[in-house]
Amino acid sequence: MSRFGIGRWGPGIAALVAALMCAGCSASPSNGGEVTRAAPNNTRTTYAQYTDSVFVNDAYMQEINGVLAMRDDNADVVHAVLADRTITAEEMNELENNEIACFAQYGWKPNVDYWFSQDGGVTAFYIGDKSNEEALRISDLCGTSTGYALLVMYYYQALYNPDNIDLRPYVFQCFQEHGLVDKSMTYDEYGRVLAAGKNPLIGDPRRSTSSTHPIWETCSSDPLHNIANSPLNR
């Protein structure tokens, strides 16, 4: 039976990252005799094709240093990349290729055994006959030893939220502008509904099979680029 595991490297913005399940992914031999698998939802089939460079501000630098103090990420790589306070597209492409090379040591291939999320790092992987614990161990090892796991997370944070502002009201605005929240609902009402443990959203856009799931993902991860009168344009 096909078995899939979950990674956890995404944009990391205000707990808005959704882990992507591979339920329903199919496996079949390609014309070349190799196994191919359908990509999970919200993953990308291309890699090492970054085009944007980002500046990492003081607040993000402080967070990164705090993470390095608690985890076993490759601090030398992280500090080298951030020496100029910028993560360039070229650096991200190199980091992602290093991640792929690390997985290759275990026989894993991109888009066959694991996938990158559309706005982050490795998000889902096929574990076959491995235990989930072993797959997570390999995933963690490659992410931390290359510096990729930490840098890809803050790359997308700096790209989507360069000033490190509170995104929650803008996520709400994005939901409302795109029809996921009733037009008459205020932000305070939205917060009270959430605090009561209820669902303020129209339908269930969090469900991966929902027709509105893609815009829910977009608003959750990158509201500032998908709303009117964004603070990015002020």
Give the residue extent of every domain in the chain: 4-160, 168-233
CA-based end-to-end distance of the chain: 53
In angstroms, the CA 104 to CA 107 distance is 5
In angstroms, the CA 64 to CA 67 distance is 5
DSSP state of 135: H
What is the predicted pLDDT for the residue at 36?
65
**Lowest mean per-residue pLDDT among 32-36, 64-68, 140-144:** 32-36
What is the predicted pLDDT for the residue at 5?
38
In angstroms, the CA 111 to CA 99 distance is 13
* Contact predicate 68/82, CB 8 Å: no
pLDDT grade, residue 34 (50/70/90)? low
What is the predicted pLDDT for the residue at 38?
79
The DSSP H or E segment spanning 6 is strand 4-6
pLDDT grade, residue 218 (50/70/90)? very high
3-state secondary structure of 51: coil
Greater confidence (191 vs 27) lies with 191
What is the predicted pLDDT for the residue at 127?
65
What is the chain's mean pLDDT, rounded? 84
Helix-then-strand count for the chain, H and E: 8, 8
Phi, psi of 122 (to 5 degrees): -65, 125
**Lowest mean per-residue pLDDT among 18-32, 38-52, 93-107, 163-177:** 18-32
* Contact predicate 158/57, CB 8 Å: yes
What is the predicted pLDDT for the residue at 209?
87
Express each pLDDT in 170-210 by its tens digit: 999 999 999 999 999 999 999 999 999 999 999 999 998 89
DSSP state of 19: P
DSSP state of 223: G
Greater confidence (29 vs 89) lies with 89
Residue 5, beta-bridge partner list: 125
- Sign of the four-CA dihedral 136, 8, 38, 155: negative
Please determine, for residue 72, whether its predicted confidence score (pLDDT) is greater than 80: yes
Phi, psi of 124 (to 5 degrees): -150, 145
Model pTM?
A: 0.80
What is the predicted pLDDT for the residue at 30?
38
Encoded amino acid at 52, one letter: D
